[in-house]
Amino acid sequence: MLRRRAAALLHRRPGLRLGLLLSAPMVWLVVAYLGALAALFLSAFWSTDVFTGDLVHEFTLRNFEDVFTDPVYLTIALRSVGVAVLVTVLCLVIGFPMAFAMAKVVAPRWRPVLLIGVLMPLWAAYLVKAYAWRVMLAQGGVVDWALSPLGLEGPGYGLTATVIVLTYLWLPYMILPIYTGLERLPESLLDASGDLGAKAWTTFRRVVLPMTFPSVVAGTLFTFSLSLGDYITVKIVGGKSQLIGNVVYDNIGAANNLPFAAAVATLPVVVMLGYILAVRRTGALEEM
């Protein structure tokens, strides 16, 4: 009886239904998540007591001054953005032709198999893959061994290794949305373009690219964001190099300086938010 009445009430009041649907998720995402982010950025304007390590709740811009005037941090910030851009470009250069071949060149019956082939490395653990590269890039490891007949040496541990490994790790995140986008693109549209006299390159530029642009952007959001915040791969194969994630991590852990870490962390957030807002209208977020 009670259930019937509750059902009737919900049926009559769509506003109530919506309110109930949104209540728990909004408490979680707005209060817990956005609240936590807000608290973090608030703490970027605080400082820590040099002697006790306790937080000093007084407004100061010192942390941001330090971040933006110290050439060390500027270099690390630029390097991180550079690595993220480079990884994204490499993923795109390797991933787009792969996605295109999967969706439009190979016989359709092969597509599910190839799709599983791209998905599987995604499910093998992140650390497993980074570790595999650590072993491969070691001195006298597989990479050195494979390059030695050409008279070359592997890059060893360092920034180059970091870029290679991050590209490897995030490549499936680029292929999958692009493949999905290309698969949705009707074959007839491409034929029509050809019938109207467009050469393959023209069809690609004027039809394929505009229609799969949101998918491409979705892929770059993954690769860019994942690279920008990474500090684990750097620790595993990066040798002595540091990225912005390492600075944040070190200031939280060893240095116990949350306000400074928070100030450093604003940089990737501002970059990512700017990117997200810039591409929001393309519909890329729904392709993620």
Partner 1 sequence: MNLSATSRTVLRVCLAAGFVFLYVPLALVLLNSFNADRAFGWPPSGLTAKWWATAADNAGAREAVLTSLKAGLGATAIALVLGTMIAFAVQRYSFFGRDAVSLLVVLPIALPGIVTGIALSNAFHLVLQPLGIGLGLFTVIVGHATFCVVTVYNNVLARLRRQGTLVEEASADLGADTFQTFRHVTFPLLRPALLAGGLLAFALSFDEIIVTTFTAGPGVTTLPIWIFNNLFRPNQAPVINVVAAVLVVLSIVPVHLAQRLSGEKTPKGH
Candidate ranges 60-68, 71-79, 151-159, 226-234; the one touching partner 1 (CB under 8 A): 226-234
131 binds partner 1 (CB under 8 A): yes
**Contact residue for partner 1 among 1, 125, 150, 196 (CB under 8 A):** 125
Give the integer Cα–Cα distance in Å for 265 and 237: 23
**Nearest to partner 1 of 33, 68 (CB atom):** 33
- Interface residue with partner 1 among 67, 76, 118, 163 (CB under 8 A) is 118
Nearest approach, Cβ of residue 13 and partner 1 (Å) = 11
> Of the candidates 105, 107, 150, 254, which one interacts with partner 1 according to CB under 8 A?
105
Q: Considering the rule CB under 8 A, would residue 255 count as an interface residue with partner 1?
A: no
Q: How far is the CB of 21 from partner 1 (least distance, A)?
A: 4
Interaction residues for partner 1, span 49-88 (CB under 8 A):
none
Under rule CB under 8 A, which residues in 21-40 are in contact with partner 1?
21-22, 24-26, 28-30, 32-37, 39-40
For residue 75, the minimal CB distance to partner 1 (Å) is 19
Q: Does 171 bind partner 1 (CB under 8 A)?
A: yes
How many residues make contact with partner 1 (CB under 8 A)? 110
